[in-house]
Amino acid sequence: MTLPLTETPTPATQAPAPLSSFQKYPGGPGAEPPAGSGAEPRGSAALAPRSFLAKNPSVFWFLLALAVLTAVVTILSPALGMGAMSTSFVKTLGKTLCLCIAALAMDVVWGYTGILSLGHMAFFGLGGYMIGQWLMYARTEEIVVAALASDPIPPTAIEIAQGVTTQIFGVVGSSDLPLVWSFAHSLPLQLMLVVLVPGVLAGIFGWLAFRSRVTGVYLSILTQAMTLALSLYLFQNDSGLRGNNGLSGLQNLPGLAETSQDDLSIWFFWASALGLALAYLLCAWATSGKFGSVLRAIRDDEARVRFLGYPVEGFKLFVFTATAVLCGLAGALYYPQAGIINPAELAPIASIYLAVWVAIGGRGKLYGAVIGAALVSLLSTWFTGGRAPQVPLGFYTIDWVDWWQVLLGLAFVCVTLFAPKGIGGIFDRIAPPDRKGAPLGPDDGALMEKEARE
Amino acid sequence: MRALILAFLALLLACPVQADTVAQIVAAQSAAIEKPSRQTIGPVISSLAASGDPMAAQVLEAWGDKRLGQRKSDKAFFILAPDSAGYALTDLSGAAAGTAAKAEITELKPNAGVRGLIAAALVQFTLSDPDPVKRAAALNSIAQDPNPESLEPLRAAIETETDPALKAQKLRLERLLTIRFDPTPEARILAIQSFGSDSGIDLRAALSPLVATTRQVAETPSGNIARSLRPGRDISETEAYDLLVAANLAPARLTIEAQKKALAAHIVDGKVGGISLAELSDQKARDLAYTALETSGAVPAAATADEVTAAVAKYQVFETYAEPDPQVTAAALEALGGIDRSVGLMTTADLAMDGVSLAAIYFLAAIGLAITFGVMRVINMAHGEFITMGAYTGFVVQTLVPDKTLSLVLAFPLAFVITFAAGVAMERLVIRHLYKRPLETLLATFGISIALQQVFKNIFGTQARPLTSPDWLGGALVFNDVVSISYIRLAIIALAAIFLMVFLYIMKRTRLGLEVRAVTQNPTMAASMGINPDRINMLTFGLGSGIAGIAGVSIGLYAKVTSELGADYIVQSFMTVVVGGVGNIFGALAGAGMIGGLQKAIEFLNPSNTLAAQTYMILFIILFIQVRPRGIIALKGRAAGD
């Protein structure tokens, strides 16, 4: 009864090296081996000898806009400039840039590859937890060492570790350092975990899901279940990450107690801007070459790509895992600015919001995802912050703190129904993309939409 | 016989006062009775109770009820009864003794402690009280607070008992008290064995204290030994040594804090024992410094590792039973073993019932999805909000109609109508346009879901709203101490069964069901046969949503109604449908059964943690889908669609 799914020996079992299997077939069996080291842009450059920037005009404009924004924020920031912006607003902007990185990852995995993952914010949160462990441990260690310094006898390493443990875990009534904190004392190790933990989790989950050919809405529900399981697990006290207390005090960088938050906020803003620029370049590079073509082909007709000989499962697994790692890195940049992380941040709803941002901004366009994430999350902050003016209707006053979510939900329905290209679609009207005669854009190429019009 | 027993009781209590008439005893102990205290009055009360005088019960009762008084003129005691002139007096031999004004009498007002003692002494009289209610109350009070004194009066009261139920209760209580308090081991063993396969909670309460163990340490073990523990194998050496320290058999070990304090107290010129302070951030250096202090005699010698090992080797660690008689503990252990087995069986039965009722709840939550998702393949993330809508409908109806039963009867159809309308509206306005884009249906319905959730919050607030079930649904069906199920859960199981029937009837026996099946299999062909697919889709979606509304009312009856009620069930509901097999109602049933049963089983294995149970269950589901990607009951052939 499950024959159609098990007829082929699942290619994903060879998935551990998806890139190499991709390099085996760049452009199908008859194609010439790509010049150079096999990197995507060169392979496509052989067909269309144009530079990366010329092929992706949006990259230039995007980087320019980001640079201008960074310059403006720096000038207005309290640390270096005129102080026209509050520190918290600089932090909000920095956090928004991190969310944009997550949105880029979501766009690659959903808009380009067609995998609607409802779990990428969980990887984002995991990255935050990993960096938070080091921040919290190192910071607490400083405090404990300072407290023990008044003793006549200098403390032993064990005593310091014990003191740190009591400080961190007293709140959940435990006095032993859980196993998951084994590397918390070391920044390099914990930074490695920022990459490894989301990567390995996404790898295992993706391998299980893709090899059994779970696709479409089933995959979405499964990722949502994974996210729910993860957040429920973290809510327990014995998960070793302080249960629903989460990790706090992350805005204080160890060793930089003297530095004011004004300075820290602008440093993190720069780091976030740089991260976003690099992530944008990486995503644009990955999606513009042959690799990107295969991804779009998988989105539009998975079976056809498989018949053409591409290891579809390997591609999907690679994209799923790589975007999860990107989300983890974005989370590691985000939470030192947010200052606190708890399991609620990993709840399924957060990942769904990520999908909402990308959908409103416009799937299949990297700048669309960034615009959507920035616009919706900033609007959300503005409306729920109580600063939006109330709308008196005579019989009822609309308080946006209460009604913003309704507005967002309805706006989302409208975007899905009437503007599936999202905000990014507006840019297509201003400057129609040059698709070399192919009539369909990345979104229009979706077979499902074509069918919908039949 | 009675006199014999009472005499025995008097002996047992080592009572200093000899049995006489009540009047004599009271007269002899008048000083103690005038100013009673809990510590000193015990023997007096016992002697009164043991006197054999038929007035004893009356006098004690009067005393306890503050109806005993002393005439100021001659210090004589009387039982008082309110009278027009003040008090009507009855002397302690039961004869009327005229009246007295209130001013002539000092009422005795024993404090609560003394009244408690009096009540305990009275139990033996109330055991034979003509009023069966009082006898039952006396039995209850003994059962709740068993003590050796109650055993003999209880035995005496068995023969005269006329009520068969009370007699059985008395016999059972007598055996329980025998187990704990009878002086002869043979009688106790017989009593233990007489219970056979009984597994009552009272029997367990009587047996468990006998076999409770305490850990002890001595050079040669003594007492009723449960087992001996070898340090290093059964317990760690540290634990064994801690026991020795606790029993004052060995000096306390030097803790790190104590060592640090001792070192800090002996700092000389920035050095301790010849080692500079800066080096003391290392445990080895600290040990060296402490040894140096020890040799100089500045600090007491601490136990070294060798000394600890020697001390532990010298003594034996063992566990003893609280009950000194080994034969009794052996019988008790055997009986407890049998009880554990039968309790285990019953716990399994109880767990199975819990699992079934949880499965029924999941099934109720998922059955609407089984229609919209399973049959129509439309992902409706707002399904949870339809459940919430139903629950809030129930709440609103209850605030309007105070009668609980009537409001419930009204709420079910009303919830169906409201959610049916909401479902139809949603289908017409949104889902219709997205039939060929399932992923976007998911997103659009999710938008509706967050909007609806916030609307509920704005209307009903964030706090939980009560949806009270009628009285006849309160309580539980109790089989025995272990196995019980609340009526509300039974009702939900029944409701789930009814829904299954209704669903099957609609799908297999009605024109609508036929058309629904036709449209889902092949809309174009169905349309050419004269079926209007638009209308059918609308009705099917409405039906699924309406059922969600009814499920909402029933879920609201046992869970708290908040705006997030439905959202809590949505992932589980989808899992239920996916695990069971899409497109088949029996699949949803099987999925609900598996998820519900599994969750209860995991909760049983790890009872403190329902969150962990949910985590493991979801992980299991993800793995299960590896094995059976199409669910438990997978459609075959053409019905499988793609």
Report the mean per-residue pLDDT for chain A.
80
Is the pLDDT at B641 greater than 50, yes or no?
A: no
In this prediction, residue B451 carries a pLDDT of 92
Is the pLDDT at B2 greater than 70, yes or no?
A: no
Q: How far apart are CA A166 and CA A150, in angstroms?
A: 18
Contact between B438 and A217 using a beta-carbon 8 Å cutoff: yes
Terminal-residue alpha carbon distance, chain A:
32
Closest CB to A413 among B430, B457, B630: B430
In this prediction, residue B5 carries a pLDDT of 57
Contact criterion met (CB below 8 Å) for A371 and A424: yes
C-alpha Rg value of chain B to the nearest Å: 38
In this prediction, residue B7 carries a pLDDT of 53
Contact between A212 and B626 using a beta-carbon 8 Å cutoff: yes
Q: Which residues contact B302 (CB under 8 A, 6 or more apart)?
A: B251, B253, B254, B259, B290, B294
In this prediction, residue B416 carries a pLDDT of 93
Structure tokens, A442: 């990345």
Task: Tell me whether A236 touches chain B (CB under 8 Å).
Answer: yes
Q: How far apart are CA B198 and CA B202, in angstroms?
A: 10
Extents of the domains making up chain B = 2-189, 215-321, 344-640
Contact criterion met (CB below 8 Å) for B180 and B206: yes
Residues 363-422 of B with CB under 8 A from A: 379
Contact criterion met (CB below 8 Å) for A41 and A289: yes
Contact between A212 and B629 using a beta-carbon 8 Å cutoff: yes
Least confident among A430-434, B230-234, B238-242, B270-274 = A430-434
> Kindly report the CA angle at B40 between B36 and B41, in degrees rounded to 5?
55
Structure tokens, A88: 């918290």
- Residues of A373-411 as b/e, b for ≥16 C-beta within 10 angstroms? bbebbeeeeebeeeebeeeeeeeeebebeebbbbebbeb
- E-assigned strands of A332-396? 340-341, 391-392
Task: Tell me whether B621 touches chain A (CB under 8 Å).
Answer: yes
Q: How far apart are CA B532 and CA A347, in angstroms?
A: 41
Q: For A312-329, what is the mean pLDDT?
A: 95
Structure tokens, B137: 């109350």
Residues 38-77 of A with CB under 8 A from B: none
Q: A402: helix, coil or strand?
A: helix
Backbone dihedral angles phi then psi of residue A101, each to the nearest 5 degrees: -60, -45
Contact between B444 and A413 using a beta-carbon 8 Å cutoff: yes
CA distance A223 to chain B (A): 9
Contact criterion met (CB below 8 Å) for B248 and B241: no
Task: Tell me whether A390 touches chain B (CB under 8 Å).
Answer: no
Task: Tell me whether A258 touches chain B (CB under 8 Å).
Answer: no
What kind of fold does domain B344-640 have according to CATH?
A: ABC transporter involved in vitamin B12 uptake, BtuC (1.10.3470)
In this prediction, residue A324 carries a pLDDT of 96
Task: Tell me whether A228 touches chain B (CB under 8 Å).
Answer: yes
pLDDT tens for A337-390 read 999 999 988 988 899 889 889 988 888 888 999 999 999 989 888 888 777 777
Task: Tell me whether A218 touches chain B (CB under 8 Å).
Answer: yes
Which residues of chain B does A448 touch, with a Cβ-Cβ cutoff of 8 Å?
436-439
Alpha helices in B510-584 (DSSP H): 511-521, 523-528, 533-558, 565-580
Q: For A165-173, what is the mean pLDDT?
A: 80
Contact criterion met (CB below 8 Å) for B392 and B561: yes
Q: How many CA atoms lie within 13 A of B256 on its CB side?
A: 15
Contact between A402 and B454 using a beta-carbon 8 Å cutoff: yes
Is the pLDDT at B74 greater than 90, yes or no?
A: no
Q: How many CA atoms lie within 13 A of A213 on its CB side?
A: 17
Choosing among A223, A406, A447, A451, which should be mutated to test the B contact, i.e. which has the most B CBs within 10 A? A406
Which residues of chain B does A452 touch, with a Cβ-Cβ cutoff of 8 Å?
434-437
Q: Which residue has the higher pLDDT, B50 or A365?
A: A365
Q: How far is CA A438 from CA A58, A387, A419, A435, B323, in A?
A: 19, 47, 21, 5, 91
Q: Which residues contact A408 (CB under 8 A, 6 or more apart)?
A: A356, A376, A380, B447, B450, B451
Which chain B residue has its CA at the smallest distance from A218's CA? B578
Q: How far apart are CA B252 and CA B254, in angstroms?
A: 6
Contact criterion met (CB below 8 Å) for B281 and A149: no
pLDDT tens for A133-168 read 999 999 998 888 888 888 777 888 888 888 888 888
Q: For A406-410, what is the mean pLDDT?
A: 89
In this prediction, residue A124 carries a pLDDT of 96
Closest CB to A217 among B267, B379, B609: B379
Q: For A105-114, what is the mean pLDDT?
A: 93
Q: How far apart are CA B176 and CA B197, in angstroms?
A: 15
Q: How far is CA A52 from CA A63, A277, A287, A290, B40, in A?
A: 14, 15, 11, 13, 101
Contact between A236 and B447 using a beta-carbon 8 Å cutoff: no
Task: Tell me whether A151 touches chain B (CB under 8 Å).
Answer: yes
Contact between B630 and A1 using a beta-carbon 8 Å cutoff: yes
Which residues of chain A does B458 touch, with a Cβ-Cβ cutoff of 8 Å?
402-403, 406
Q: How far apart are CA B263 and CA B270, in angstroms?
A: 11
Task: Tell me whether B461 touches chain A (CB under 8 Å).
Answer: no
pLDDT band at A44 (very low <50, low <70, confident <90, very high): very low
Contact criterion met (CB below 8 Å) for B188 and B328: yes
Is the pLDDT at A267 greater than 80, yes or no?
A: yes
Contact between A155 and B281 using a beta-carbon 8 Å cutoff: yes
pLDDT band at A206 (very low <50, low <70, confident <90, very high): very high
In this prediction, residue A442 carries a pLDDT of 43
Contact criterion met (CB below 8 Å) for B105 and B51: no
Is the pLDDT at B13 greater than 70, yes or no?
A: no
Report the mean per-residue pLDDT for chain B.
81
Least confident among A64-68, A111-115, B212-216, B270-274 = B270-274
pLDDT tens for B186-196 read 888 888 888 77
pLDDT tens for B476-507 read 888 777 778 888 888 889 988 998 898 889 88
Contact between B622 and A448 using a beta-carbon 8 Å cutoff: no
Contact criterion met (CB below 8 Å) for B596 and B573: no
Contact between A153 and B578 using a beta-carbon 8 Å cutoff: no
Task: Tell me whether B451 touches chain A (CB under 8 Å).
Answer: yes
Contact between A225 and B449 using a beta-carbon 8 Å cutoff: no
Task: Tell me whether B14 touches chain A (CB under 8 Å).
Answer: no
In this prediction, residue B374 carries a pLDDT of 72
Q: How far apart are CA B551 and CA B425, in angstroms?
A: 20
Q: Residue A109 has what DSSP assignment?
A: I
Q: Which of B80, B78, B102, B88 is nearest to B27 (CA)?
A: B78
Which residues of chain A does B609 touch, with a Cβ-Cβ cutoff of 8 Å?
236, 238
Taking every pair of C-alpha atoms in chain B, what is the biggest distance, in angstroms?
114
Strands B68-71 and A340-341 turn out to be unpaired
Strands B96-100 and B105-107 turn out to be unpaired
Backbone dihedral angles phi then psi of residue A150, each to the nearest 5 degrees: -75, -15
Which residues of chain B does A225 touch, with a Cβ-Cβ cutoff of 8 Å?
571, 574-575, 618, 621-622
Is the pLDDT at A448 greater than 50, yes or no?
A: no
Q: How far apart are CA B109 and CA B62, in angstroms?
A: 11
Contact between A229 and B619 using a beta-carbon 8 Å cutoff: yes
> Kindly report the CA angle at B583 between B577 and B588, in degrees rounded to 5?
35
CA distance A427 to chain B (A): 22
Task: Tell me whether B446 touches chain A (CB under 8 Å).
Answer: yes
Give the sign of the dihedral formed by CA A291, CA A296, CA A298, CA A303.
negative
Structure tokens, B396: 């609103």
Task: Tell me whether A154 touches chain B (CB under 8 Å).
Answer: yes
Task: Tell me whether B639 touches chain A (CB under 8 Å).
Answer: no
Q: For B450-468, what is the mean pLDDT?
A: 88
Is the pLDDT at B580 greater than 90, yes or no?
A: no
Contact criterion met (CB below 8 Å) for B281 and A154: yes
Closest CB to A417 among B433, B450, B455: B433
Complex prediction ipTM:
0.76
Is the pLDDT at A35 greater than 50, yes or no?
A: no
Q: A301: helix, coil or strand?
A: coil
pLDDT band at A123 (very low <50, low <70, confident <90, very high): very high
Q: Quick one: which H or E segment has residue B318?
A: strand B316-321
CA distance A51 to chain B (A): 35
Task: Tell me whether A417 touches chain B (CB under 8 Å).
Answer: yes
Closest CB to B450 among A214, A233, A405: A405
Structure tokens, A243: 């249960």
Task: Tell me whether A204 touches chain B (CB under 8 Å).
Answer: no
Q: For B235-254, what is the mean pLDDT?
A: 80
CA distance A355 to chain B (A): 8
Q: Which amino acid is at A416?
A: T
Which residues of chain A does B569 touch, with a Cβ-Cβ cutoff of 8 Å?
none
Q: What share of chain B has pLDDT > 70, as a percent?
A: 94
Residues 62-81 of B with CB under 8 A from A: none
Secondary structure of B89-158 as H, E, C letters: EEECCCCEEEEECHHHEEECCCCHHHHHHHHHHHHHHHCCCCCHHHHHHHHHHHHHCCCHHHHHHHHHHH
Is the pLDDT at A281 greater than 90, yes or no?
A: yes
Q: For A118-147, what is the mean pLDDT?
A: 92
> Kindly report the CA angle at B192 between B187 and B196, in degrees rounded to 5?
135
How many of the other CB atoms lie within 10 Å of CB of B518? 17
Extents of the domains making up chain A = 17-26+52-346
Is the pLDDT at B401 greater than 90, yes or no?
A: no
In this prediction, residue A105 carries a pLDDT of 95
Burial class (CB in 10 A: 0-12, 13-18, 19+), A233: buried
